Amino acid sequence: MTVLFASRPVRFLAVLSLFWMGVPAPAQATEHPGQAELVSEVARDTGKSPQTLNALLDGAKMQQSILDAISRPAEGKPWKDYRPIFLTDKRINDGIAFYREHRALLEQIGRQYGVAPEYLVAIVGVETSYGRNTGKYKVLDALVTLGLYYPPRATFFRGELKTLLELPDNHLAGSIDTLTGSYAGAQGWGQFMPSSIRDFAVDADGDGHIDLQNSLPDIFASVANYFVKHGWVSGDPVAIRAQPDAAAAEVVVQDASPQWPLEQLEVWGYAPLQAMDPGRLSSLQTLEGANGREYWLTFQNFYVITRYNRSPLYAMAVNQLAQAIAAGVDQADAAR
C-alpha cells in the first residue's frame, strides 16, 4: 500500500520536472469519435483483442482529401461528360488486349457463372484501368474518415469499417494497415467494399486465400459471383436504344429495376430500335448525350450492374465498354 501510494507523487514530480526543464510530457493518444464503442462491438462479435483493434485504429488518420473527394463524384456529371471518361480509344484497346491475354481464364469463368467475359473485363476496366490504378488511399484511413467523421454517410461507412475489422486475414490481400484502395475504401481490381468481400468474394484458385489484388482467378470469379448473386440472367440483353414519338408520355423512373413490359413502353411512345420480346420487363433511362437526349430501354442485367454502382451512368459505361471490347476481340479473331 505504501509503495503504491508513494508512486503517485513520484510520477507527478517527474512530469513537473520535465515541464520545468522545457521538455514536453508524452502526448496521450487521441481516440477517433466512437472508437471505443466500435472496438467493443468487434471484440464482442469476433473475439479479437481490443488492444489489437485499438492499435489499428490509433494508426488510422482522418484525411480531409477523402472528405473532399466524396463531395465531387464523377456520377454527378451528365452522360455527355461522363461517357468520355471511360469510353476512350485507349481503354477500349487496352480492354481488347487484356481479354485476349487472359482469354482462357475469362471464358472458363464466364461459362462457369453464365456471365459474358467482356462484362468482367469492362468492370475491371472502368474500376481500375485493368488493375493499373487500384487506389492510393489507405483503406483503413478511408473508412475511418467516412465512418467516423462524415455524418451524411456515417451509418454505411461505419458498417463497412466494422466489417473490415471483422474479416478473416485470409480474405484480404494483406494486413489491414497496409491495404490501399479508393477514397471510399474499395479495394482490389474490382474495387470491392468489405461487405462485398465478405458476401461475394471467391477463392477461385483454391489456395485458401481470397486475394482481389494479386489473383486473377479470384478477381474475375468474384465479379462474376457478385453479378449472379444479384440476379444476372445469362445471355439476356443489358440495354437497347429507343426512339420516342412526338407524343411520348413522360415516364417517372425511381430506379433501374425492370418494371414494365416493353409493349407498355411502346404504348407510351418509346419504340425499341431492335426486335425484342414485347413481354420482356424493362425500364427507361433518359441520358443527356453529346448529340442531345438519348432514350434507352434497360433490362434485368442493367439493373444488376447498378447493384455494383447505383449510378445508371456507370451501368451504361460498363455496358458500352463491354460491347466495344467484344466487337474488337471478334474483329481481331476474324483478321487472324
Under DSSP, the state recorded for 59 is: T
Q: What is the DSSP string of 36-52?
A: HHHHHHHHHHH---HHH
Q: How many CB atoms lie within 10 A of CB 274?
A: 9
Contact 188, 135 (CB under 8 A): no
Distances (CA, A) of 90 to 82, 93, 147: 16, 5, 36
Task: Give 189: exposed, middle or buried? Use CB within 10 Å, 0-12, 13-18, 19+.
Answer: buried
The span from the CA of 330 to the CA of 336, in Å, is 10
97 grid coordinates: 488486349
The span from the CA of 82 to the CA of 87, in Å, is 9
Under DSSP, the state recorded for 293 is: E
Q: Which of 103, 107, 127 is nearest to 115 (CA)?
A: 107
Q: At what angle do helices 216-229 and 300-308 cross, to 10 degrees?
A: 120
The span from the CA of 38 to the CA of 49, in Å, is 13
Catalytic residues: 127
- Phi, psi dihedrals of residue 203, rounded to the nearest 5°: -90, 80
Within 8 A by CB and 6+ apart from 27, the residues are none
